[in-house]
Amino acid sequence: MFARASKPVAAAIASGLSVGMASHHFSSPAVAHSDAEETVPGKLSAIRSSLDRIEKALGVKSEPTPFAGKSVDPSAPTPHGIDIVLGAQWGDEGKGKLVDILSQTYDVCARVAGGSNAGHTIVANGRKYKFHLVPSGILNEMATCIIGNGVVVHLPSFLEELKSLELAGVQWEGRIKVSDRAHLVFDFHQTVDGNQETKLGRNKIGTTKKGIGPAYASKISRNGLRVGDLGDMETFESRFRSLAEYHMAAFPGLKIDIEKELDYYRKIAPYVQSMTCDTIEFTNQAYDSGKKILVEGANATMLDIDFGTYPYVTSSNPSIGSVLTGLGVSPRKLNGIFGTVKAYCTRVGEGPFPTELVDEPGSTGEYLRSNGYEFGTTTGRARRCGWLDIPQMKFSSTINGFTSLNLTKLDVLTGLPEILIGTKYTYKGENLDTMPANLKIMTSPDFKVEYETMPGWTEDISTVTKFADLPPNAQKYVHRVQDLLGIPIRWIGVGPNRLDVVDRGPGWDLLEQAKQR
């Protein structure tokens, strides 16, 4: 309830009437400089007190006026909150599999960062699906999938992916919405990306050459084009010419057939526009109406442009912050933050890898790559393999605030007599409390990783559905990882197929629901 001042009070205020105080303010000397008054509630309280004294002196009383704010419908749906699946290591952790299982009970699935450099593989009903731009939640026929404003979209790749899904029997029409604010990746971005990587030689970053970095560079330079620009072809053509000419001037030898490119975009513009919308409005309206929303993270925290092993990183923020900036939602709307981590560790491309194993025939590293089929979904490159890295995981959790973990590929460790866990970093004999930003430290001979050794197991776990049915040593491994990180491990991957997951969460029966669909 707020009070509406009576006419005498209003007149007194307007004329600067003083009642037992200086006429230029209403505060008494005792409270004029109090800490409480420095806050908005404090100032309002002081004003209210002053008004009360004026009313008392004049012998009048204000009339209460009901607060005319927005009414709340008690029958309105209660928002469930936005859940997020994030990569906790260097990517390829198996995020897509968890998203596929979870998405069966969600109404909206979204991508918020990166581009076609990301890759998720899902095995469902004996068929393998590979995703790069389209959220893997598209396999849920009831879900709407969003490509958020933080994603950079190479339309030829995107349309080809949609075509592949259609040929595989996935009905996606009407269920994909692309942000009108998402920036475009052009073919010349990919050419520049590849040329720059080649020129780096031995110092190469390990980019996928999908044009992601150059596209984000155009975005930051404010000369990029967005998906929504296709709705105004006259402006699109003018800006495309400028962007193409800029790149040809900046990169001698780069040739762009501008007219051919423009002809392509003229042809696809109406089709793309039919999928384009303001995804910020769509997402927030879905939240307000009580829809369940799931964000499918791409890449991983250790590839984050700010938090990763720079410069051996991607060009976006595949950590928790990208959900806010790449989808346009408030942090108040976030709920579960699910970190996905392999039971061991892998990395594609260049850059430091503290727990990396030697890659030789018959070695443990080769065993992990062979058993885990560790080859990139996007590039086909062999992944580097190593032991689980606890300091790295703690760093990742500090940034993202994981509420629970999805431990994948536990089955790949089957058959190893011993399993090591990296538990501590030291540099020149001193403990390191976090991941160092200086890469020279991690590549120095004075940088060491301390390990714990756990006993292995030989039993096949690919058909296990309950945690209690895992071999005792497998259970011990999971418990030890959980204890070291201080984060509950909710899901455990025990095989390559879609439903080869042990769910330890109370009251959850997602696998059964997925089987019924």
The H or E element containing residue 336 is: strand 334-342
Amino acid at 353: F
**Residue 56 exposed, middle or buried by CB count within 10 Å (0-12, 13-18, 19+):** exposed
What gap in Å lies between CA 260 and CA 125, rounded to an integer? 41
The pLDDT, as a whole number, for residue 362 is 83
| Active-site residue, from 92, 193, 304, 500 | 92
140 annotated ligand binder: no
Q: How many residues does the chain have?
A: 517
- What pLDDT does 59 receive? 64
State the SS3 of 354-400: CCECCCCCCCHHHHHHHHCCCECCCCCCECEEECEEHHHHHHHHHHH
Structural domains in the chain plus CATH codes: 2-65 (no CATH), 82-180+278-516 (3.90.170.10), 183-273 (1.10.300.10)
Tell whether residue 336 is among the known ligand binding residues. no
83, 100, 120, 193: which one is catalytic?
A: 120
Buried b (16+ CB within 10 A) or exposed e, 155-168: bebbeebbeebeee
Q: Which two tokens stand for residue 96?
A: 């897509």
Task: Work out whether the CA dihedral 34, 39, 45, 49 comes out positive or negative.
Answer: positive
Residue type, 414: T
pLDDT of residue 42: 57
Concatenated DSSP letters of 61-108: -PEEE--------TTSPPP--EEEEEE-SSS-SSHHHHHHHHGGG-SE
Q: Which of 201, 216, 245, 5 is nearest to 115 (CA)?
A: 216
Catalytic residue among 219, 247, 291, 333: 219
Residue 486 is assigned to a ligand binding site: no
Q: Do 332 and 288 meet the contact criterion of CB atoms below 8 Å apart? A: no
Q: Is 97 annotated as a binding residue?
A: yes
Structure tokens belonging to residue 443: 């590549």
Q: Tell me which residue of 12, 46, 41, 17 sits closest to 31, measured CA to CA.
A: 46
pLDDT value of position 31:
37
C-alpha–C-alpha distance, residues 176 and 275, integer Å: 6
Tell me if residue 219 is catalytic: yes
383 annotated to bind ligand? yes
Residue 213 corresponds to which tokens in the numbers above? 């970095």
Among 343, 294, 304, 323, which Cα is nearest to 102's? Answer: 294
- Establish whether 480 is an annotated binding residue: no
CB atoms within 10 A of CB 417: 9
Classify 141 as helix, strand or coil.
coil
Q: Do the annotations mark residue 3 as ligand-binding?
A: no
What is the reported pLDDT for 237?
A: 98
In this prediction, residue 136 carries a pLDDT of: 86
Closest CA to 340 of 322, 364, 318, 356: 318
Answer yes or no: are the C-beta atoms of 288 and 280 closer than 8 Å.
no
| Residue 386 marked as a ligand binder | no
Which residues lie across from 296 on neighbouring strands? 85
pLDDT tens for the 517 residues of the chain, in order: 334 444 433 443 344 433 333 333 333 334 334 444 455 545 556 666 666 676 666 665 555 444 344 443 434 444 678 999 999 999 889 998 898 889 889 999 999 999 988 777 777 777 888 889 999 889 889 999 999 999 999 999 999 999 999 999 999 999 999 999 999 999 999 999 888 877 776 666 667 788 999 999 999 999 999 999 999 999 999 999 999 999 999 999 999 999 999 999 999 999 999 999 999 999 999 999 999 999 999 899 999 999 999 999 999 999 999 999 999 999 999 999 999 999 999 998 889 999 999 877 789 999 999 898 888 766 678 899 999 999 999 999 999 999 999 999 999 999 999 999 999 999 999 999 889 999 999 999 999 999 999 999 999 999 999 999 999 999 999 999 999 999 999 999 999 887 899 998 754 444 444 444 4
- Exposed / middle / buried, residue 466 (Cβ in 10 Å: 0-12, 13-18, 19+): exposed
95 known ligand binder: yes
